[in-house]
Amino acid sequence: MKKIVFLIFFLTISNFFHAQNRISGTISEENSNLPLAGAYIYITEWNKGVVSDENGNYSITLTTKGRLTLQYSYLSYEPVVKEVILSDSNTEQTLNVQLKKHIIQMDEVVLSNSYINTQSTNTYEVDVVDIDNIAKVGGFSVMDIINKIPGVDAVTSGTMVSRPSIRGLSSNRVLTVIDGVRFETQQWDDEHGIGVNENGFEKIEVIKGPESLLYGPEAMGGVINFVKTKPAPIGTTQGSAFAAMSTNNLGWRANAKVDGAKENLNWGVSALGKLFSDYFIDNQSFRIPNTRLLEYGAKGYVGTNRKWGSTNLEYTFNQAFFGILDGKDITFGPNGEIINSDIEKEKYPFEIEAPFHTVVDNRLTSHSTFLTGKSKLDLVVGYQNNHRTENEELSGVKKGYKYVDMTLQSVTYNLKWYAPTWNRFSTIVGSQGMYQNNTNNSGAQTVLIPDARIKDFGLFAVNKYQYQAFNFSLGARFDSRNLDTDETNGLNYTIPEISKSYNNVSGSAGIAYTIAKKLTLRSSFATGYRSPNLNELTSNGFKLESQRFEVGNANFKKEHNQQFDLNAVYANESISIEGAFFVNTIQNYIYIAPTGSTVPSNLDPATNVPLYEFQQSEAQITGGEATLSIHPEGLKWFRLDNSFATLKGIRTDNDSYLPMMNPTKLTNTIFITLNDFGKFSSSVINLTVASTFDQDQVAENELKTPGYSIFNLGISTTYKKTAFTLTANNIFDRNYINHMSRFRPYKIAEPGLNIALSVKIPLDLN
């Protein structure tokens, strides 16, 4: 009897652990019903993918149960998202999917709202750009494609250091997110760039404003979400190698990656390197000193999927050396012309010499999904170590002396529970937290911000309801922050100890209505907040990077904003139109502004330097964006894209303008697609005219900036499977000054003519 019971128990357990579900079907084109070979089917919760065969057929075997999300994608076709629920018994489901060819991508799959759905069902717009576009625009970094989004600009310090400004808001008001973890890199200073490169990512999603409650404080201006590359299809090992060079700064960048996947295991490694010299203006006759860069990094991940779900562990290392333009190297001649007083003898210097920043990042992230029947849990835990030093000039020593040395350590978690769908309601409940420690290391001459500890805790709930062509969203969030600093001695001054607590409740609501699958109307209202950063609270000294004396205020209150958005999108076979309007009202807006006076420098009391003060006031930013794409159905080789963005930022207490507001921009691009010839395919020629209007809506003591138009040319093609891109930016070598550049007070122009060539080679390592 015991043997029979044991046998029954063994067979039951074996069947439980070996029960398998199968999803299969055919991927075909919507109009012709022809099969699509090589379509990618990705299961989000299992971080697992397969491709369709030559007949468009696919099959996925799953040893799990629960709610799964499947993404179907194919190059030049609109993606499709399907949700299935698998029982714990052996079942087989057939999902045949038809994909529609697109001229311009209007309905991408977006992840930033955590629902993983297509754009048309979102109650707020999410802009999406592919990482490969960096080569197509002849860019140097991810910021060169982010700032192409209407309404998004970049605060720059030369070509290599830039950070996003979304609808006039930048610095700590824009949150950078990587795999669900907020990226921390001393982002309180405009001299510090975004801190993320293209290594290991496939696209970037941008949210304008505080619409998303899923990311917490410091997202009141928007979110930059980096989406990592999907794993290789099961049973394959594949990779790619990329290299690009540019003529203006004689620079190059390269990266390579290899990814592999088996039935229950996926892995990948990638590496990146960049080397750029100083950039030139005036037909390569004037070098902007010390705007060079040396950067290298590597990334590796391993993931597994089991009956309960999946988990992924990823490690990233990156080190970058950024040259710092020294103000004393730029002087002015008798006629106001700028003069380079740098004694560098090489035309294209690459060696890193003082003054320069060194930034070393180490990131470890664990991302796990637990399937619990019709619901699921998503947990992301991360550790980040950001080590930033600054070396300043010392006579006879190329590397100079260590001026600043800071280490920022951050531990974060992000927990989300996806409740079972009920009567068309989809609910996410979650919690986020962070512990952060900033330390000034010994051996540095000065302290810019004090030793400090920050503790964040947040709770949120968001709900989405879909009824026919309507989509509704509603959410609320509570956040708490505790900030404590130590009394810290700076150079000839002391930063006092402070202790602050900030609490906030925020919310959002939105509606989207789609008419005949061609017109989508959206309206949303959201609130956000941000606590003052350490720089704004404690600054009281001369900053070498900006060549100014900055004074903060420990009594600053938290910022709070309310944004109202209207958005409309229309698309058919020949035309695509999108328009957006927003009003962003901000209480206790913090900004730094010149006072028009000078004070003795704490580094050298005999020298007077410009005085800048952080100020706080009521503010309002209003504006809008519009895009128009003309792609006649009868002229499939032709496309004309147009985009426009404008805004106005004012202090509502005195109607004066806010500083560093994005200027009005108009961009027009013509695309000509050539017929395939021989082994060449996907050949496109594009010509862009990027116009920036005069910016005369400036704050008191802020410089006005004249407008300009820049012409850019690009050619891309694929030979067999190798992709080539050739671009020429600023083809007429126009001398112009960017209003968002921190070099503007020195009258330093942006790069002149730059020609870039890139090549990307796919690697089939099976």
Single out the residue of 674, 662, 672, 681 nearest to residue 641, CA to CA: 672
pLDDT confidence of residue 342: 78
Residue whose C-alpha is closest to residue 640's, from 672, 681, 607: 672
CA gap 300, 302 in Å, rounded: 7
Band the pLDDT of 156: cuts 50, 70, 90: very high
User: Span 678-697, mean pLDDT?
Assistant: 96
pLDDT of 544-595, one tens digit each? 767 788 899 999 999 999 999 999 999 988 999 999 999 999 999 999 888 8
The amino acid sitting at 367 is H
Question: What are 597-611's pLDDT values in tens digits?
Answer: 999 887 778 888 889
pLDDT at 147 over 90: yes
Find the mean pLDDT for residues 419-444: 93
pLDDT at 9: 40
* Fold observed for domain 127-548+564-595+617-764: Maltoporin; Chain A (2.40.170)
Please tell me the least confidently modeled range out of 88-102, 616-630, 700-714, 739-753: 88-102
Predicted confidence (pLDDT) at residue 327 exceeds the cutoff of 60: yes
pLDDT the model gives residue 1: 45
The arithmetic mean of pLDDT across residues 497-509, rounded, is: 94
What is 550-614 written as a DSSP string?
EE--TTPPPEEEEEEEEEEEEE-SSEEEEEEEEEEEEEEEEEEEEEEEEEE-SS-TTSEEEEEEE
pLDDT at 302: 97
Provide the sign of the torsion angle of the four alpha carbons 692, 698, 702, 706, taken in this order. Answer: positive
Distance, in Å, from the CA atom of 295 to the CA atom of 319, rounded to the nearest integer, reads 6
Confidence of residue 6 (pLDDT cuts 50, 70, 90): very low
Looking at residue 539, its pLDDT comes to: 86
How far is residue 157's CA from residue 154's CA, in Å, rounded to a whole number? 10
Residue 136: the pLDDT is 93
pLDDT tens digits, one per residue of 206-250? 999 887 688 877 889 999 999 999 999 999 999 999 999 999 999
Q: Which residues contact 202 (CB under 8 A, 6 or more apart)?
A: 130, 131, 227, 228, 229, 230
Q: Which of 81-85, 174-178, 248-252, 450-454 is predicted with the least confidence, judged by mean pLDDT?
A: 81-85
Decide which of 340 and 612 is more confident: 612
Lowest mean pLDDT of 98-107, 270-279, 690-699, name the range: 98-107
pLDDT at 88 (0 to 100): 66
- pTM for the model: 0.92
Assess contact for 354 and 393: CB atoms under 8 A: yes
Identify the band that residue 35 occupies on the pLDDT scale cut at 50, 70 and 90: very high
Read off the pLDDT of each residue in 652-678 and give the average, rounded to a whole number.
95
CB 547, CB 594: distance < 8 Å: no
Across 388-414, average pLDDT: 91
For the chain, give every domain's residue range.
127-548+564-595+617-764
| Residue 103 pLDDT exceeds 90 | no
HEC sequence for 344-381 = CCCCCCCCCCCCEEEEEEEEEEEEEEEEECCEEEEEEE
pLDDT in tens, 41-58: 999 888 889 999 999 999
Mean pLDDT of the residues in the chain? 90
Cβ-Cβ contacts under 8 Å for 75 (sequence gap 6 or more) = none
Quote the pLDDT of residue 10: 40
Q: How far is CA 467 from CA 124, 247, 494, 514, 523, in A?
A: 17, 55, 60, 11, 16
Q: What is the pLDDT of residue 171?
A: 86
